[in-house]
Amino acid sequence: MRTPNLANYLENATLAHPDKLALIFDGQGQWTFKELDGMINRVANGLIDLGVKKGDRVTLFLPNSPEAIFFLFGTIKMGGIVNSLNMLLKERELEYIVDNCEPVILVTAKEVIDAPLKVFNKPGNKIKAMILIDGEGDKGRNIINYENWVKKYSNEFDAVSVDGDELALILYTSGTTGRPKGVMLTHINLWTNARHCADWAETTYKDIEVASLPLFHVYAISHVMGELWMSAVTIVYQKRFDATQTLEALVKYNATVFHGVATMYYALVNHPKVDEYAKQIHLRYCVTGAAVTPEPILRAWNQKFTPLSEGYGITEAAPVVFMNPLPGKGVQKANSCGVPIVPEIEVNAFDDNDKPVKTGEVGELVIRGPNVMKGYWKNEQATAEALKNGWLHTGDMVYYDEDGYCFVKDRKKDMICRAAFNIYPKEIEDLIYTHPAVGEAQVVGIPDLLKGEEVVACIALKPGQKLSEEEVIKFCKDNLAVYKAPKYVRFFEQLSNFVYGLFSNVSLFFILMPLLSLCLPSH
């Protein structure tokens, strides 16, 4: 299917609104649509001059920055494939992805150069050059100073024509079940998602959006940036999340939209001056995803601001699948990720035999539609397993109510099997969150000789609060079936960060390793 290059839509926005502000970046500058398109064109011309061809991969190892956006669109515009990576990856992880993805260009910044430089210097990779932002170049080693490089090139460039099923992005999953897998997203995948989101949100060029989501994440790349090129919104982007700076930006720019995750909303509603800011903030809508927002956070936010629209996305679906309706447009249900964002996306819940379950019964979420990935890069087996019988199998356990709203119970692989009972950690987490002393909660399973697995509750208390292990266990036993109550409780100063949300269960498993001596026999 022939389709315009995604960058064509940004060109259209530039033609319609050349002098309108497109991007304001956290004290680093601002660009009109014409200026933004010009910077993107310089990058596209520069990449071609370096020998990058249509279909070549360009790896971005960057913090949130204007350059991350220039290279995202510049690479796509000249027909390349963007491989945007988490800048917290260590050398070993980055080396695996570079070997697997085989980029010809690596783009990084001085502040995060350690791992990229080590990987770049290793023999055997196919990287022709490393482009370095805010750092010195080294011609003999093909390390190029970005600032001197980019200004050499023309600010005019016509987007390369593509087929809809040609790749635009390869984004690597976290690899909690083994090596990271490269999710292949096409131009039509990303266009479909951006159109769906814009239609759902009724986005227009008058909207002003504030965000600080990591620009290597599909939520930021596809949803937030999609609204830039699909609807010509103005985006105010921040290098990293800070509650005070975010509240200030929402007021200063008279923002109409905020994109965040649960941990951000938690920080905002607990800001000491939140009530003062709330009187000056008038959002049309605000969105959260990545993880279900605990009901106490949702309730606290909705009491002070425009009701939060919660959704569900997955990288393999480019990413948005479900959304709760906009405020005033329908019923928003707590703990639900909503309904399919458009009828074009088919969803269902399957049992272990790939048969649909009944309303109210738990099954694995499956998805079908033009938003679903092409597959995993160089991984036919994983692709076949994920795209079985034409449906994307997500690994998320869900159920639907009688109104068609979807509720995520848990990850299929995170389910705890304790003495033949299936336990969904989220159910326990939701309860623990209702305790007034609890700020954050996460429940995981660890191996146990007698019961198969035991339940561990990991908790970060609110400032100044006290709570004991015994009190938590009793609280759970008083409100849940006894077999669901945690056997162990461990306390942390914090469980979340503003890049990912909560720790991965794999990370917590290793943190909790000392508990294994209590559950397994010594040798």
For residues 70 and 97, give the distance between their C-alpha atoms in angstroms, rounded to a whole number.
22
In whole angstroms, how far apart are CA 45 and each of 4, 157, 309, 326, 389?
19, 7, 40, 41, 42
**Is the Cβ–Cβ distance between 105 and 59 less than 8 Å?**
yes
175 alpha carbon, distance to own chain's centre: 14
3-state helix, strand, coil in the chain (%, to 5): 35, 25, 35
**Is the Cβ–Cβ distance between 228 and 252 less than 8 Å?**
no
pLDDT the model gives residue 199: 93
In whole angstroms, how far apart are CA 91 and each of 112, 126, 171, 500?
11, 17, 17, 20
pLDDT the model gives residue 208: 98
Task: Give 394: exposed, middle or buried? Use CB within 10 Å, 0-12, 13-18, 19+.
Answer: buried
For residues 362 and 335, give the distance between their C-alpha atoms in angstroms, rounded to a whole number.
15
Mean pLDDT by 10 residues, the chain (523 residues): 83 97 94 99 99 98 98 98 91 91 98 95 94 91 96 97 96 70 97 94 97 93 94 97 97 97 88 97 90 80 94 94 92 90 93 96 96 97 95 94 91 73 81 93 80 86 94 92 89 68 51 55 42
DSSP string, 401-434: -TT--EEEEEEGGG-EEETTEEE-HHHHHHHHHT
For residues 118 and 411, give the distance between their C-alpha atoms in angstroms, rounded to a whole number.
35
**Is the Cβ–Cβ distance between 320 and 230 less than 8 Å?**
no
Give the chain's end-to-end CA distance (angstroms, integer).
61
For residues 3 and 164, give the distance between their C-alpha atoms in angstroms, rounded to a whole number.
5
The structural domains of the chain, ordered by start, are 2-188 (3.40.50.980), 241-412 (3.40.50.12780), 420-519 (3.30.300.30)
pTM: 0.84
Which residues, at least 6 apart from 520, have a Cβ–Cβ distance to it below 8 Å? Answer: 447, 448, 449
**Is the Cβ–Cβ distance between 144 and 137 less than 8 Å?**
yes
What is the enclosing helix (H) or strand (E) of 381? helix 380-386
For residues 461 and 491, give the distance between their C-alpha atoms in angstroms, rounded to a whole number.
8
Angle between helices 114-121 and 91-101 (to 10 degrees): 50
Peptide linkage before 272 cis (omega within 30 of 0): no
Which residues, at least 6 apart from 112, have a Cβ–Cβ distance to it below 8 Å? Answer: 61, 62, 63, 87
Q: Would residue 389 be called left, alpha or beta, if left means φ above 0 and alpha means ψ between -120 and 50 degrees?
A: left
pLDDT the model gives residue 1: 55
Q: What type of residue sits at position 346?
A: E
Comparing C-alpha atoms, which of 172, 169, 259 is closest to residue 223? 259
User: Across-strand partners of 341?
Assistant: none
User: Across-strand partners of 289?
Assistant: 261
Comparing C-alpha atoms, which of 446, 451, 449, 443 is closest to residue 513? 446
- Residue count of the chain: 523
pLDDT the model gives residue 303: 94
Q: What type of residue sits at position 255?
A: A
CA angle 101, 25, 278 (to 5 degrees): 120
Using the structure block, give the residue that is written with the tokens 């269960």.
Answer: 505
Six-digit token pair at 140? 């003999």
Q: What type of residue sits at position 50?
A: L
Angle between helices 262-269 and 295-304 (to 10 degrees): 50
Task: Give 450: exposed, middle or buried? Use CB within 10 Å, 0-12, 13-18, 19+.
Answer: exposed
For residues 293 and 311, give the distance between their C-alpha atoms in angstroms, rounded to a whole number.
10
